[in-house]
Structure 1
């Protein structure tokens, strides 16, 4: 279960249609601001996929991230996992949440 503020299935149905990744990224950045952070990109299904996290609980996310970096584990993994939501944005504008 995610922290409050996550994108629900109903929210996903209401997302605009995007024709490319740039438009989708611009929309998410304008909608979620600094809580929408770039993580990495990779190729999935023969397309470049941009992976972002929507940060739902900043304290839990950044403390968990620091624990992973410093001690190699998270002391409260469920809180850390619920603190962010993964958003994949493909070159053609397709979104996977």
Structure 2
């Protein structure tokens, strides 16, 4: 069961900086959600301010929507990346790609994480 006490066991180290990134086992062990709001609330409770809404977009079938979120794993690099994107239109630098992990939540509550 995923909770604050077990969360650390779901991370693996990735990249040259050996940054924390959630594993496929985390996705496999997620509770079954019945709606987008239920899933988003669960993630928000687990990750707090490090779980942020990015945008709502149409699914491939063009009839449903899904919601993009990020789980911030390295707040300092994430803030620098966001600032660079706003100021320069792009961001590059060591660790920028793995400072956050994308989470897609569909209207039916299904969840897909980027690995």
TM-score, length-normalised on structure 2? 0.77
Gaps in structure 2 of 5+ consecutive residues: 1-13
Tell me which of the two structures has the higher relative contact order, counting C-alpha pairs closer than 8 angstroms and 6 or more residues apart.
Answer: 1
> 2-side partners of 1:89 and 1:13: how far apart?
14
The RMSD of aligned alpha carbons is: 1.3
Instruction: Answer yes or no: is 1:85 the counterpart of 2:101.
Output: yes
Gaps in structure 1 of 5+ consecutive residues: none
Q: For this pair of structures, how many residues does the alignment match?
A: 95
| 1:51 alignment partner, one of 49, 52, 68 | 68
What stretches of structure 1 move > 4 A for 4+ residues in a row?
none
Q: Helix, strand or coil for the counterpart of 1:30? A: helix
Q: Decide which structure has greater helix share.
A: 1
> 1-side partners of 2:67 and 2:90: how far apart?
25
